[in-house]
Amino acid sequence: EVHLVQSGAEVKKPGESLKISCKGSADIFTNFWVGWVRQMPGKGLEWIGIIYPRDSDTRYSPSFQGRVAISADNSINTAYMQWSSLTASDTAVYYCARHRRAATNPSDAFHIWGQGTLVTVSP
Amino acid sequence: DIVMTQSPDSLAVSLGERATINCKSSQTVLSISDNENYLAWYQQRPGQPPKLLFYWASTRESGVPDRFSGSGSGTDFTLTISSLQAEDVAVYYCHQYYSIPFTFGPGTKVDI
């Protein structure tokens, strides 16, 4: 069975950096787009961006471009999202998710989801 | 960006009754090249990650009960639960994957 396992909850101070991870249980990354979704406390889902680990082609929402960086390490089936300087507004649960089809076309629904990583940014 | 709207924001339905959720996109998500609607529906139960219910607007994901159905085309879509069960209490989101940035609707909360 395919799983995505995300790194654990983080508590950070404003201005600190952070890198969270999302690891696949098998060779499920190479030919699939993997993305990140934000859910702020009590709010809905926001699409952050996606990466194609085979060639690191990355697409971002303009709302998040420049604020986060998405990367991947194909050799260990792991995707990452990082911040260089956190703010309180980054407090949220972040989900990684894999697209449904193995394809170079980025247009697809999210099929497999990680359990979520809670990031809390507080002074 | 394509803006997704949903109605209602929330609804309460008796067990065994029908629930209908509407989703509207600000631009068409119907692709002329493959005649597919790039629209998905997700269910998010409290404390859990979202779960894919439908893709291509009406293709049911494996394992999703057939009391769930998805319909619509172009800019107007509907998710219907024909006979609400207790385990269907959740927030439901539509999602367009036609144009980057892909976007989600604001969600519709379904309660008993």
Cβ burial of A119 (10 Å; 0-12, 13-18, 19+) is buried
**Whether B51 and A63 lie within 8 Å, measured CB to CB:** no
Chain B contact set for A37 (CB, 8 A): 50, 104
Q: How close is the nearest chain B Cα to the Cα of A12, in Å?
A: 22
Residue in chain A lying closest to B48 (CA): A115
Q: What are phi and psi of B71, to 5 degrees?
A: -150, 175
Q: How close is the nearest chain B Cα to the Cα of A41, in Å?
A: 11
Tell whether the model's pLDDT for residue B98 goes beyond 80: yes
A65 touches B: beta carbon within 8 Å: no
**Whether A47 and B101 lie within 8 Å, measured CB to CB:** yes
Give me the pLDDT at residue A31, please.
86
pLDDT digits 0-9 by tens, A50-100: 999 888 999 999 999 999 999 999 889 999 999 999 999 999 999 999 999
Residue in chain B lying closest to A115 (CA): B49
Encode burial over B49-87: b for 16+ CB neighbours within 10 A, e otherwise.
bbbbbbbbbbebbeebeeebbbebeebebbbebeebeee
What SS3 class is residue B17? Answer: coil
Q: Kindly indicate the confidence band of residue B33, based on its pLDDT and cuts at 50, 70 and 90.
A: very high
Give me the pLDDT at residue A75, please.
86
* Nearest neighbour of B49 by CB, restricted to A62, A109, A116: A116
Tell whether the model's pLDDT for residue B32 goes beyond 80: yes
